[in-house]
Structure 1
Amino acid sequence: MSQITSLFATRLYHAPLSAHDPKVDPDELEASCYAIAEDDEAGQAWCEEQGFPGYTSYASLADLPRRFPIFGDVVKALDAHVAAFARDLAFDLGDKALKLDSIWINILPEGGIHTGHIHPHSVISGTTYVALPEGTSALKLEDPRLAMMMAAPPRLKDAPADLQTFHYARPSVGDVLLWESWLRHEVPMNMSEDDRLSVSFNYGWE
């Protein structure tokens, strides 16, 4: 009798941010994101120079948790989620730990996209979702073996999720998604008239 085994799993962690304390008020977090974006002239200038749609604090504010108490609460909750994901991944961290390396705001307007990318020099990356208006983009995740598939035929449209070439994760406001930082991902074009707000982050092994 034949036997088929699934090997080399790619994990995606999905949970409500509020599953771990402290609880974060999504309305307060949204208001804080907009207030920061409005005052961050350096971030606005970087986005304009780079042709970046909307706003990101990625290149301008490296200390959100120290500047704004609500981001300190976000990080405390994220620490617990990342620890849970690390256990699921069976990481042997030795005498080091996974620690927050960077955290930033993303405000993606109508027509904005985040093209495919990975997060080098990190172990775990993720996003918590602040505003997801109807019609906004899912998170598109790419099979990391795609470049090595060469002559492989396409998958059937109804293939199981773990055999699809791309996976579209559709979180809700207040959810957090985590993945290993080598996993290529993107945000397709925002087709909603309203902004898509999220807070992204990286954890390194220190």
Structure 2
Amino acid sequence: MTTRLLFASPLYQQRLDDSDMLDELARSIRYLAEADGAGQQWCEEKDYYGYTSYASLDDLPQRDPVFADLAKWLTKQARAFAKELAWDHKPKLDSIWVNLMHPGAHHAAHIHPHSVLSGTLYVDVPDGAGTIRFEDPRLPMMMAAPLREGDVSEHLRTHVDIAPERGTLLLWESFLRHEVRPHHGEEDRLSVSFNFA
């Protein structure tokens, strides 16, 4: 008898070990959270508990040299992941935004349409910060699937939670549904998210 695994959903994980760059990113995120009035207004209208530049700033690499350096590093990582996926395509950075989540914040399950790869670099992750949860993309088609027994391998789970640390980079194919679980820490959680086309 042979059991084969089909239709994997790869998750690329890398580490940014440049502490100076992470500190600089943290300073920039906090500055943007204070200075970006349009972003603050969008967050207030959408009941976003914290700050994101998602709907207000689309020029971070031109605005701040640390984001230009980060964009180059992210592109290198995205292309390495695309090679692992055997793609005949070199991903190009399409959008990049920052996130500052206050204690108590969460982000509902979603996908990233109009892109091929998406991801997040974790800049500051306080104790108690919410995990990122990925959902098996086949879940909507498995309405009658029985529950799994015990502690099963990741590839058999319907959801996988990952607790990132400072400097963790996660990259995934953009169709993979994910959410940020509630942040139970006492300090803000900082990250940079992005899409590649």
**Structure-1-length-normalised TM-score:** 0.93
Matches within 5 A, 1:75-86: 75-86=71-82
Q: Report whether the alignment pairs 1:40 with 2:33.
A: no
Unaligned runs of at least 5 residues, structure 1: none
Q: Report whether the alignment pairs 1:139 with 2:132.
A: yes
Match of 2:101 in 1: 108
Matches within 5 A, 1:1-206: 2-18=1-17, 25-93=21-89, 97-204=90-197
Q: CA RMSD in A?
A: 1.2
Separation of aligned partners in 2, 1:56 and 1:107: 6
Q: What amino acid is the match of 1:132? A: V
Q: Deviation digits for residues 22-67 of structure 1, max 9, x if unmatched?
A: 8862111101110111100000001101111100000000000000
Higher mean displacement: 179-188 or 156-165: 156-165
Separation of aligned partners in 1, 2:172 and 2:125: 20
| Runs of 4+ in structure 1 over 4 Å off | none
Unaligned runs of at least 5 residues, structure 2: none
Identity of counterpart residues, as a percentage?
A: 52
**Structure-2-length-normalised TM-score:** 0.97
Query: Shift of the alpha carbon at 1:17?
Result: 2.5
- Number of residue pairs the alignment of both structures matches: 197
